[in-house]
């Protein structure tokens, strides 16, 4: 969804402003370190935290990387991995048999079903048959812009018939997932990364990291505050990529997550018109309401799903949903640059 900046402006859709060195406790001096890796969820992961030495920080970074890589493999719909039943395994077995899965898949799919109900179908994990068609056309259009085309509406409608959430059967007792429709496929692109970031934040606490900022693409999660008890300051990227202002505003975060969905990174053009990667399950087409939607919430997985759903909704409908939820705020950027937000959104605007 987004792109990466450094220490001052960090990650696709998100800029992170951090300090250099802080003191912790009475005697021990902890330095602030930052590490990056590029192996998970097709984006850059940046982790900012504190340790007594670079070696100590690097050891924990390695553990966090291995944990996130495991989630990446579990939620992959394109590749198989030795010894792992992942989402591709489930999709390949659609209409054939139930697949035994790890708890991390079961819990993600349960959350996906919950968010489907909460958003009245605007967020859909069983929409893979339609998304895969758009993916193919987008890839072809990006490779050969002069030959870019849209999927046929008839084919989109045909595939949309194989997206019923009721066909996703979760058996928690047996730890199995079964897609009863052989033409169905799961795609958790709108929630998988956010869910993994939330679990990674919880794992960081298990490792004793109480002051951490994790950024995986456009998904940013703050574990605690900074070590001086000041909040982490995170900036929301300007969807106008030609603007001299790289980000629109900053928000202060403590034990919160922020996720941005937008139309300005993953898209292709047909006859001069932009078509982004987010597809509305009710129309089978990319929505045209906003340039981006950012969601601030306690849970990164929920924020991820909500940012996708809100991108598909008209403003008043989306605002009503956000205002009905506890500890959730949102900001919408219109195609014309207009900024609107929920009642509890607090930001230092840069424009």
In sequence order, which residues have a C-beta less than 8 Å from that of residue 202 and are 6 or more positions away?
A: none
Residue 27 lies in a domain: no
Q: How far apart are CA 121 and CA 219, in angstroms?
A: 22
| Share in percent of the chain as helix, strand, coil (round to 5) | 30, 30, 40
Number of Cβ atoms within 10 Å of the Cβ of 282:
14
Number of domains in the chain: 1
Q: How far apart are CA 333 and CA 226, in angstroms?
A: 29
Residue 4 lies in a domain: no
Q: pLDDT value at position 349?
A: 63
Q: How far apart are CA 75 and CA 71, in angstroms?
A: 6
Residue 205 lies in a domain: no
Residue 140 sits in which domain range? 87-179
Residue 97 lies in a domain: yes
Q: How far apart are CA 302 and CA 38, in angstroms?
A: 24
Q: What stretches of 119-229 show up as alpha helix (H) in DSSP?
A: 128-143, 153-160, 192-206
Q: Which of 136, 132, 128, 129 is nearest to 109 (CA)?
A: 128
Extract long-range pairs of 107-111: CB within 8 Å, 24+ residues apart.
Answer: 107/195, 108/75, 108/188, 108/191, 108/192, 108/195, 108/301, 109/168, 109/170, 109/177, 109/186, 109/188, 110/170, 110/172, 111/191, 111/195, 111/301, 111/302, 111/305
In sequence order, which residues have a C-beta less than 8 Å from that of residue 143 and are 6 or more positions away?
A: none
Q: pLDDT value at position 340?
A: 96
Query: CA neighbours within 13 Å on the CB side: how many for 72?
Result: 16
Q: pLDDT value at position 32?
A: 95
Residue 145 lies in a domain: yes
Q: pLDDT value at position 10?
A: 39
Q: What stretches of 16-98 show up as alpha helix (H) in DSSP?
A: 54-74, 87-92
Each residue's pLDDT, cut to its tens digit, for the chain (351 residues) gives 433 333 333 333 444 434 333 344 433 688 999 999 998 999 999 999 999 999 999 999 999 999 999 999 999 999 999 999 999 999 999 999 999 999 999 999 999 999 999 999 999 999 999 999 999 999 999 999 999 999 999 999 999 999 999 999 999 999 999 999 999 999 999 999 999 999 999 999 999 999 999 999 879 999 999 999 999 999 998 888 777 788 889 999 999 999 999 988 889 999 999 999 999 999 999 999 999 999 999 999 999 999 999 999 999 999 999 999 999 999 999 999 999 999 999 877 654
Q: pLDDT value at position 134?
A: 97
Residue 166 lies in a domain: yes
CATH number, domain of 114, equals: 1.10.3980.10
Residue 115 lies in a domain: yes
Q: pLDDT value at position 266?
A: 86
Residue 340 lies in a domain: no
Number of Cβ atoms within 10 Å of the Cβ of 85:
19
Q: pLDDT value at position 20?
A: 37
Is residue 127 a contact partner of residue 165, using CB atoms and an 8 Å limit?
no
What one-character DSSP code corresponds to residue 52? S
């Amino acid at each position: 969804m987004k792109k990466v900046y450094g220490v001052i402006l960090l990650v696709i859709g998100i800029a992170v402003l951090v300090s250099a060195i802080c003191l912790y406790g009475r005697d021990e001096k902890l330095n602030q370190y930052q590490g990056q890796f590029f192996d998970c969820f097709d984006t850059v992961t940046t982790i900012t935290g504190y340790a007594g030495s670079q070696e100590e920080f690097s050891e924990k970074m390695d553990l966090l990387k291995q944990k996130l890589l495991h989630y990446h493999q579990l939620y992959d719909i394109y590749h198989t991995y030795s010894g792992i039943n992942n989402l591709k395994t489930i999709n390949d077995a659609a209409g054939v048999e139930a697949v035994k899965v790890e708890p991390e898949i079961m819990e993600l799919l349960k959350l996906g079903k919950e968010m489907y109900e909460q958003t009245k179908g605007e967020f859909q994990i069983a929409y893979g048959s339609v998304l895969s068609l758009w993916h193919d056309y987008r890839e072809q259009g990006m490779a050969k812009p002069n030959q870019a085309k849209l999927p046929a509406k008839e084919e989109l409608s045909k595939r949309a018939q194989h997206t019923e959430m009721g066909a996703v059967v979760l058996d928690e007792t047996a730890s199995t997932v079964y897609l009863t429709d052989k033409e169905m496929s799961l795609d958790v692109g709108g929630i998988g990364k956010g869910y993994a970031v939330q679990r990674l934040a919880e794992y960081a606490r298990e490792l004793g990291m109480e002051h951490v900022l994790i950024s995986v693409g456009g998904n940013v999660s703050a574990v605690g505050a900074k070590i001086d008890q000041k909040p982490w300051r995170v900036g929301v990227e300007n969807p106008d990529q030609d603007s001299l202002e790289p980000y629109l505003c900053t928000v202060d975060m403590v034990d919160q997550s922020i996720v941005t969905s937008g139309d300005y990174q993953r898209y292709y053009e047909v006859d001069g018109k932009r078509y982004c990667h987010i597809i509305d399950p009710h129309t089978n087409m990319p929505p045209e309401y906003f340039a981006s939607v950012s969601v601030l919430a306690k849970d990164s997985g929920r924020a991820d799903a909500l940012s996708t759903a809100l991108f598909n909704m008209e403003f008043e409908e989306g605002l009503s949903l956000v205002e009905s939820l506890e500890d959730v705020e949102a900001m919408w950027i219109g195609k014309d640059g207009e900024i609107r937000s929920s009642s509890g959104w607090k930001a230092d605007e840069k424009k």
